Amino acid sequence: MKLAVASVGEGIESAVDRRVGRAKHFVVDLEPDAAKTVSNAANLNATRGAGSQATGTVIDLEVKALIAGRIGSKTSAALRAKGVTTYPDEGGTSAEALDRFKAGTLDQMALAHVMEHR
């Protein structure tokens, strides 16, 4: 399954970003054992709509899942509508988050429990 992690830096050893809209990068897992980093620079300084624009970026990556520290309700709903499941995971590197996902230890974000970003 192709999935992405919101990341504070380039590469799989970068920390998971707690944000989606203003995450610096998305690390995209390209199984088996390969990954690429996609910049989200266009949204870093957006005065409005960073979450919506980043959602479009994630959808364009054609991933089936997104891992980030916190995922706002609008972002989660938009991703769900396009078939992308969301998984909250704060702490650690993108590689560690991908390992937790593959091990089945991350819980899919329930729609009723979507976290508002702050």
Q: Is residue 113 very low, low, confident or very high in pLDDT (cuts 50, 70, 90)?
A: very low
The answer to whether residue 40 is domain-embedded is yes
Say if residue 98 is exposed, middle or buried (CB neighbours under 10 Å; 0-12, 13-18, 19+). buried
pLDDT tens-digit readout, 28-81: 987 767 888 999 888 777 777 777 888 989 999 999 999 999 888 888 999 999
Domain, as residue range, for 74? 3-113
The answer to whether residue 81 is domain-embedded is yes
How many domains does the chain fold into? 1
Q: What is each CA distance from 118 to 9, 12, 43, 72, 98, in whole angstroms? A: 20, 25, 16, 9, 24
The answer to whether residue 98 is domain-embedded is yes
The CATH number of residue 31's host domain is: 3.30.420.130
| Cα 49 from Cα 87, distance rounded (Å) | 21
Strand 3-7's sheet: what is its strand order?
34-39, 25-30, 3-7, 65-68, 85-88
Q: Is residue 86 very low, low, confident or very high in pLDDT (cuts 50, 70, 90)?
A: very high
Look up residue 110 and give its amino acid: A
For the full predicted model, state whether its pTM sits above 0.85.
yes
